[in-house]
């Protein structure tokens, strides 16, 4: 007997029929002798509907009151799923975040979980019940309703799994696991059976949308074995089969994994590059430029400063493409005194490609191999940045697919796990 936390997102519970299917899947685990705690999102579209309603009243809705409204989406789903389980003869009981209670700070609309009371849930589990918890929500010390922000149900699930010392946290979603890269771009993309926590963290931060990044951080902090798997399979497939499907996120330094240098390739079109050529190479120049950008709440990703020549340097950084106009307005207003003759250059047709792999830690040469492969394809590299387990480059957007496919093949990601040549 294991204690399993299962999370189902908005698409998985998007209709009465789908909720019934989710109930069948849960009943199967319960009937196999496991204790099951379920975390659900609002039915797909419901959170957007509620937020749109709030915005009809207030253009920038009051965060406390927005959370009161938005949290009702999950509250409806928990009740419906409890009923669907009861229909199958499975005793089930629903809890809102307040009822559990999932204690958070009071940062409405983006609250962070501080503590989860596992008392009532454990009592129900030991009583043979399936426990259903509303994802995305909690309450602060004063009992105000809070929400965790978009994708917060993943975090709810992982946090509950940590609090309950669950054997595994299953994140059911509309993909069947985590892939070496986006299968829509590379047809040879391969599902990973296992991925290291640090790798998924880098991939999530790079925009791969499988898991919310805070849930991954939570999983890492409390070492919660977390599995991403499909909710679109036949709900009645055997438990053993389902338990081994998808992709498991691990925290062990698996000897097998040592051999893999690059586990996945992430990419993003959502980038824009800003270059300030020939600015004075004086201490604090980076702060003078980026300080204003940060104040305007614009996130900066890659930053490159070239070696100085004649006391002048080229300073480049990337921002989200949506923020380019806003960033340019800030720069034009604030940094004109530091600018060289060429003014500010922008490039909104770039893409970022990242090779991610925990094996990089002990292998130099990934960057060199990347550059060689791209050179062979005649693709010019515009920016480079690296972390311990990631090497990212920026290229012309039009070369993105070509570059991703070439790297995917060169790092052997199209083949089953094997030792990688550099």
**Positions 95 through 114 that interact with a copy of itself (CB under 8 A):** 96, 98-99
Residue 10 assigned ligand-binding role = yes
86 belongs to the binding site for a copy of itself (CB under 8 A): yes
Binding a copy of itself (rule: CB under 8 A), the pick from 11, 65, 326, 414 is: 65
Residue 47 assigned ligand-binding role = yes
Q: Report the residue number, 121 or 166, with the smaller CB distance to a copy of itself.
A: 121
135 belongs to the binding site for a copy of itself (CB under 8 A): no
Q: Choose one: 47-55, 260-268, 349-357, 375-383; the region binding a copy of itself (CB under 8 A).
A: 47-55
Q: Choose one: 31-39, 84-92, 162-170, 359-367; the region binding a copy of itself (CB under 8 A).
A: 84-92
Residue 8 assigned ligand-binding role = yes
Residue 9 assigned ligand-binding role = yes
Q: Choose one: 59-67, 184-192, 312-320, 371-379; the region binding a copy of itself (CB under 8 A).
A: 59-67
Q: Choose one: 60-68, 188-196, 337-345, 383-391; the region binding a copy of itself (CB under 8 A).
A: 60-68
Q: Report the residue number, 160 or 206, with the smaller CB distance to a copy of itself.
A: 160
161 belongs to the binding site for a copy of itself (CB under 8 A): no
Q: Choose one: 29-37, 83-91, 307-315, 408-416; the region binding a copy of itself (CB under 8 A).
A: 83-91
In the 3-class helix/strand/coil scheme, how is the chain assigned residue by residue?
A: CCEEEEEECCCCCCCHHHHHHHHHHHHHHHHCCCEEEEEECCCCCHHHHHHHHHHHHCCCCCHHHHHHHHCHHHHHHHHHHHHHHHHCCCCEEEECHHHHCEEECCCCCCCCEEEECCHHHHHHHHCCCEEEEECCEEECCCCCEEECCCCHHHHHHHHHHHHCCCCEEEEEECCCCCECCCCCCCCCCCECCEEEHHHHHHHHHCCCCCCCHHHHHHHHHHCCCEEEEECCCCCCCCHHHHHCCCEEEECCCCHHHHCCCCCEEEEEEEEEEEEEEEEECCCCHHHHHHHHHHHCCCCEEEEEECCCECCEEEEEEEEEHHHHHHHHHHHHHHCHHHCCCCCCEEEEEEEEEEEECHHHHHCCCHHHHHHHHHHHCCCCEEEEEEECCEEEEEEEHHHHHHHHHHHHHHCCCCCCCCCCCC
Compute the least distance from the CB of residue 78 to a copy of itself, in Å: 6
Count of chain residues binding a copy of itself (CB under 8 A): 36
76 belongs to the binding site for a copy of itself (CB under 8 A): yes
Q: Which residues are annotated as a binding site for substrate?
A: 47, 74
Q: Which residues are annotated as a binding site?
A: 7-10, 47, 74, 173-174, 179, 184, 209-210
**Residues contributing to the site for a copy of itself (CB under 8 A):** 16, 19-20, 50, 53-54, 56-58, 61-62, 64-66, 68-69, 71-72, 75-76, 78-80, 82-84, 86-87, 93-94, 96, 98-99, 143-145
């Amino acid at each position: 007997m294991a204690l399993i936390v299962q999370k189902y997102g908005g698409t998985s519970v998007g209709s009465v029929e789908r909720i019934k299917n989710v109930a069948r899947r849960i009943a199967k685990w319960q009937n196999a002798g496991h204790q099951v705690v379920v975390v659900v999102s609002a039915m797909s579209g419901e959170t957007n509907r509620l937020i749109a309603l709030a915005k009809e009243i207030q253009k920038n809705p009051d965060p406390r009151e927005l959370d009161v409204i938005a949290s009702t989406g999950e509250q409806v789903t928990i009740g419906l799923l409890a009923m669907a389980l009861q229909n199958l003869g499975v005793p089930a009981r629903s809890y809102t975040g307040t009822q559990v209670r999932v204690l958070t700070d009071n940062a409405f609309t983006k609250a962070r979980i501080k503590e989860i009371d596992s008392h009532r849930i454990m009592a129900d589990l030991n009583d043979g019940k399936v426990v259903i918890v509303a994802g995305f929500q909690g309450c602060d010390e004063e009992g105000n309703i809070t929400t965790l922000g978009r994708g917060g149900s993943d975090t709810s699930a992982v946090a509950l799994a940590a609090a309950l010392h669950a054997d595994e946290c299953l994140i059911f979603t509309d993909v069947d696991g985590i892939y070496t890269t986006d299968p829509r771009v590379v047809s040879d993309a391969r599902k990973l059976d296992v991925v290291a926590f640090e790798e998924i963290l880098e991939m999530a931060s790079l925009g791969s949308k499988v898991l919310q990044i805070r849930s991954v951080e939570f999983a890492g902090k409390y070492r919660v074995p977390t599995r991403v798997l499909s909710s679109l399979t036949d709900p009645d497939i055997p438990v053993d089969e389902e338990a081994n499907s998808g992709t498991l996120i691990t925290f062990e330094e698996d000897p097998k994994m040592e051999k893999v240098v690059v586990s996945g390739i992430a990419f993003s079109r959502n980038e824009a590059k800003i270059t300030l050529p020939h600015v004075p190479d004086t201490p604090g120049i980076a702060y003078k430029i980026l300080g204003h950008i940060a104040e305007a709440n614009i996130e900066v990703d890659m930053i490159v400063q070239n070696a100085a020549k004649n006391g002048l340097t080229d300073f480049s950084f990337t921002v989200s493409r949506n923020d380019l106009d806003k960033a340019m307005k800030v720069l034009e207003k604030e940094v004109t005194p530091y600018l060289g003759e060429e003014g500010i250059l922008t490039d909104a047709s770039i893409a970022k490609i990242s090779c991610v792999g925990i094996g990089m830690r002990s292998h130099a040469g990934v960057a060199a191999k990347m550059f060689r492969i791209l050179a062979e394809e005649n693709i010019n590299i515009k920016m480079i940045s690296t972390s311990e387990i990631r090497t990212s480059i920026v290229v012309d957007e039009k070369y993105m697919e070509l570059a991703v496919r070439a790297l995917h093949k060169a790092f052997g990601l199209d083949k089953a796990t094997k030792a990688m040549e550099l």
